[in-house]
Structure 1
Amino acid sequence: AASAATDSSALLRTGFYFDTVIAISLYDRKDPAILDACMQKCAHYEDLLSAQKKNSDVWNINHSAPQAVKVSPETLALAKTALHYAKLSEGAFDPTIGRISDLWNFTGDPPGPVPDPKQLKELASHVGFEKLKVDEDASTIALTDKEAALDLGGIAKGFIADELKTYLLAQGVHSAIINLGGNVLLVGGKTTSAPSSATASSAAGSSFPSRPSASVSAGASSAAFSDFAVGIQDPFGATGDFAAVVEAQDKSIVSSGTYERYFKSDGKLYHHLLNPQTGYPVQNGLSGVTIVSDRSVDGDALSTTCFILGEKKGLQLINTLPDTEVMFIHTDGSLSYSKNFPRAHS
């Protein structure tokens, strides 16, 4: 179920796509037809990119390996971006981890159990982004190893958010918030008519993992366009307790954390952020990572990447990228930031 602060000055639409709650709020150009089209686009991308939907592009790739499959331009572009981040991270981000993610069953009811170590080791031997072949000329994608499986869930929602923003801008919308299960993408800034607050709650997901619940509220400035304030959920607090607040316009704010999807077995917590080389959850002293960037697809990939790399290597990577900032939440509750992270307070 979705929850959102109601305000007569905003046109808000919520829905359930990608196995999570989404919310889109328009603060100008309040045309219901625009929101109708956004929901139709979400349904289109779910049918295209979900590994669980039979005959989606991703499903066809996984069930046709090692044969190449003709795919849509969107799937081709997304797979190309996933490969870019796999190479950039030297495999810390790897879109061929699908079978391992399925084995852990984090979205089951109940989730788990802990996989057999031998089975996990066997599946990990088939993970490797070099097995993903994207042929732009032929518009095809192939997995050269039939025991590997493509999973674009770590990057798809960011891609979709960016596509929705492009559409909104084309419709003349200059002030809006796109929230796909906690992936927050700001369109412009707050207008003088923007609501005092707007929230969207994320729900547990599978094909496209939900992000931590994010709260978005208007900034205090009285200028025509001022900053939105985005609250980053405290992984150790109750819902609505923020570890930090980001004030920004026209930015993407995406978080990854151990508190998103997990289960406990014999008193030990197992979370969904997996090391592609071992198949096991990463244990490196981090509980969460938040990326602020221009594009949501970049924030989606980098939040996972930086968590898996850890603070030192993750920060080194972020410092090489323009207009990209990171915040790390440590298991002891402390926070650390890149130099220009746009925090309001914590």
Structure 2
Amino acid sequence: MTALRDRAVATADWTVWTCRVRLAVTDPAALPAARDVVEREIAAVDAACSRFRPDGDLAAVDAGAGRWTPVGPLLAEALAVALRAARLTDGHVDPTVGGAMTALGYDRDLADVDPGTVPPVLAPVAGWRTVELDGDRVRIPWGARLDLGATVKAWTADRAAAAVADRTGAGVLVSIGGDVAVAGPAPDGGWRIRVEDVTGDPDAPPPPGSATVSVVDGGLATSGTRARRWLRGGVEVHHLLDPRTGLPTRPVWRTVSVAAGSCTDANTVSTAAVVRGHAALPWLRELGLPARLVTEHGDVVTCGGWPA
């Protein structure tokens, strides 16, 4: 998912969490303040929710597995968002996949993953129902590890877009690794978003098989198995795990794109659809959200009013 440049808006681009960030505002004078807001939001979420930071709040929860651990308001909210996503998707998006991610080698920045061996069998994860969140404290089962990656990036985009619109009054788009949130008044014709398998250079020519849509509010997200891949024991694996097995989900859809009232909801649904495999299409039709699914062979299926 790539936010395209519009001559009527001002943009800034940088990299965080090994993701490309694009910020766009309808008032060029608001761009410096907007970038400051977005960078502060990302830094705060990183300190609270990153599983790669031994000094972070999430690491304290993992280290305290089996007992109640106090958490700050940001992590408590992020956990509530993750548990809601798990409930709404019948557990196909599950925050207790951290141990399985670690077993597959994704316990550090992707560029530094150890290409060791894949365990012959990975047990299903502990399951989201085992996570107890009580206000400002949380308890997870002994041996469990959390990973909020399925929701936290999109949630951060939502938070950042809302904060920029509130501070500047400008229309704003925030894209973090292709998870797109918009707030405030959109430019004429809406925000133009290019949907593709892997987030690329927004100023480059569109790759084959991509599509361009316009968004005026809410969010748009693409989940897929192409972007975050690495070798483990000579086997190529990816980051979208099936909580029922603890292994990368079976290759039915290489990408699923969804539009919803928030980027968080869009990403929750798109991720769950990839994990659901063949069962995704009837589920998406029941939800009625605009969606675009691309098979492993490149065939495109749309539903829910996704534009032709």
User: Shorter-chain TM-score: what band?
Assistant: 0.7 to 0.9
8 Å contact kept, 1:29–1:173 = no
1:308 equivalent in alignment to 2:278:
no
8 Å contact kept, 2:150–2:267 = yes
1:283 equivalent in alignment to 2:250:
yes
Q: Which residue of 2 aligns with 1:141?
A: 138
Shift of 1:71: 1.5
The answer to which structure, 1 or 2, has the higher relative contact order (CA under 8 A, 6+ apart) is 2
Q: 1:292 aligns with which of 231, 252, 259?
A: 259
**TM-score normalised according to structure 2 size:** 0.86
Q: Which residue of 2 aligns with 1:87?
A: 87
8 Å contact kept, 1:18–1:50 = no
Distance 1:115 1:129 in 2: 24
Q: Which residue of 2 aligns with 1:263?
A: 230
Q: Which residue of 1 aligns with 2:13?
A: 14
Q: Which residue of 1 aligns with 2:189?
A: 226
Q: Which residue of 2 aligns with 1:43?
A: 43
SS where residue 210 of structure 2 aligns?
Answer: strand
- Identity level (%): 21
Superposition RMSD on alpha carbons, in Å? Answer: 2.8
8 Å contact kept, 1:254–1:292 = yes
The structure that is helix-richer by fraction is 2
Distance 2:230 2:17 in 1: 21
One-letter code aligned to 1:180: I
One-letter code aligned to 1:112: P
Q: Which residue of 2 aligns with 1:116?
A: 119
8 Å contact kept, 1:159–1:297 = yes
Q: Which residue of 2 aligns with 1:249?
A: 216
- Change in CA separation of 1:276 and 1:5 when aligned onto 2, cut-off 3 Å: closer
8 Å contact kept, 1:189–1:226 = no
Distance 2:287 2:25 in 1: 30
- Change in CA separation of 1:165 and 1:266 when aligned onto 2, cut-off 3 Å: closer
Residues 253-309 of structure 1 show CA distances to partners (whole Å, capped at 9, x for unaligned) of: 111111111235798643222111212222242111111112111122222111001
Distance 1:5 1:305 in 2: 26
8 Å contact kept, 1:257–1:288 = yes
SS where residue 103 of structure 2 aligns?
Answer: helix
Shift of 1:172: 4.0
Q: 1:171 aligns with which of 167, 170, 173?
A: 167
SS where residue 237 of structure 2 aligns?
Answer: strand
Distance 2:29 2:296 in 1: 42
Q: How many residues align?
A: 298
Shift of 1:88: 2.5
Which segments of 5 or more consecutive residues in structure 1 lack a partner in the other structure?
192-224
Q: 1:328 aligns with which of 287, 293, 297?
A: 293
Shift of 1:5: 8.1
